[in-house]
């Protein structure tokens, strides 16, 4: 994902090499201080030696950090599904909130009824064969008919709270094999799960199981505000919006 020139100017204006006093955060609040998140973003993403291009936009990172703060304060790792990107991009990422770095980046296909190259349509309904946006909490891993998987619990009422009933998991699938991009110009499709290449699955589950937060994010659903994460999901909790809104990718 490319970082905009506007955001580069914003980073310079904020001078995010702030003192530890400036980075103090009242952990009793529902939302993190934006300057605190900006400082974290600069260390974890902008200054990462492993990433030539910026893999996470600031709005997505803000949503991720606020979700982790609200639902998983004691967990070290958080996961992001960046549905703003096409399926040809490595849009599943895991961030280490202690060492402030991205520890995993890999491919993830979307659901068959959510779109083609981009995921543009989302649903919380069973049998929709669409992905759901929002914050999830990872539970325990298990071995099922399709192999190792990690079951997810949707945390946002009306947006993804049917995830457990839909048996939404992080799993391994041939649909996530990057060879499909070479063959078809995009990855394959799922029925709504978050599927990874088999060679990345065990590592990802090792980071996330037993309480870590995973956020499925789409930038055009995001409405900037001081709260950030809250507004991203608030509009979609209204049934008319959640059921009818479709996105047009520029």
The mean pLDDT of the chain is 78
Is 50 a domain residue?
A: no
Rounded Cα gap, residues 145 and 111, in angstroms: 20
pLDDT tens column, 185-213: 999 999 999 999 999 999 999 999 999 99
CB count, 10 Å around CB of 236?
23
Is 17 a domain residue?
A: no
Which residue from 166, 128, 156 is spatially nearest to 235, judged by alpha carbons? 156
CATH (domain of 204) = 2.40.440.10
CB count, 10 Å around CB of 49?
6
- Could you say which residues of the chain have pLDDT below 50? 1-29, 51-52, 222-250
Full residue range of the structural domain in which residue 97 is found: 71-244
Q: Please, where are the H alpha helices in 19-113?
A: 34-41, 58-71
Is 60 a domain residue?
A: no
Is 203 a domain residue?
A: yes
The model carries a pTM of 0.77
Is 29 a domain residue?
A: no
pLDDT for 39 equals 85
Is 37 a domain residue?
A: no
Rounded Cα gap, residues 170 and 149, in angstroms: 6
Rounded Cα gap, residues 140 and 242, in angstroms: 29
Is 210 a domain residue?
A: yes
pLDDT for 74 equals 80
pLDDT for 31 equals 59
In the chain, what is the straight-line distance between the N-terminal and C-terminal CA atoms, in Å? Answer: 14
Range 16-37 burial, b when 16+ CB lie within 10 A, else e? beeeeeeeeeeeeeebbebebb
Question: To which H or E segment does residue 51 belong?
Answer: none
SS3 content of the chain, % helix, strand, coil (to 5): 30, 20, 50
């Amino acid at each position: 994902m490319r970082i905009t020139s506007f955001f580069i100017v914003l980073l310079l204006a904020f001078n995010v090499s702030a003192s530890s006093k400036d980075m103090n955060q009242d952990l009793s609040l529902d939302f993190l201080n934006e300057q605190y998140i900006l400082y974290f973003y600069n260390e974890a993403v902008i200054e990462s030696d492993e990433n030539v291009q910026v893999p996470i936009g600031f709005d997505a990172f803000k949503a991720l950090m606020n979700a982790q703060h609200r639902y998983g304060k004691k967990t070290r790792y958080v996961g992001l599904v960046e549905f703003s990107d096409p399926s040809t991009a490595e849009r599943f990422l895991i961030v280490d909130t202690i060492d402030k770095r991205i520890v995993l980046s890999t491919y993830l296909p979307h659901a068959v009824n959510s779109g083609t190259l981009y995921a543009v349509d989302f649903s919380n309904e069973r049998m929709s064969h669409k992905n759901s946006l929002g914050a999830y909490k990872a539970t325990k891993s298990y071995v099922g008919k399709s192999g190792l998987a990690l079951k997810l619990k949707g945390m946002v009422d009306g947006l993804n709270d049917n995830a457990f009933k839909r048996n939404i998991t992080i799993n391994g699938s041939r649909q996530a094999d990057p060879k499909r991009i070479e063959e078809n110009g995009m990855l394959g499709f799922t029925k709504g799960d978050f599927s990874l290449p088999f060679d990345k699955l065990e590592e990802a589950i090792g980071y996330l199981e037993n309480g870590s937060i995973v956020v499925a994010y789409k930038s055009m659903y995001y409405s900037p505000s001081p709260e950030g994460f809250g507004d991203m999901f608030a509009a979609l909790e209204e049934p008319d919006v959640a059921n009818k809104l479709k996105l047009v990718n520029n």
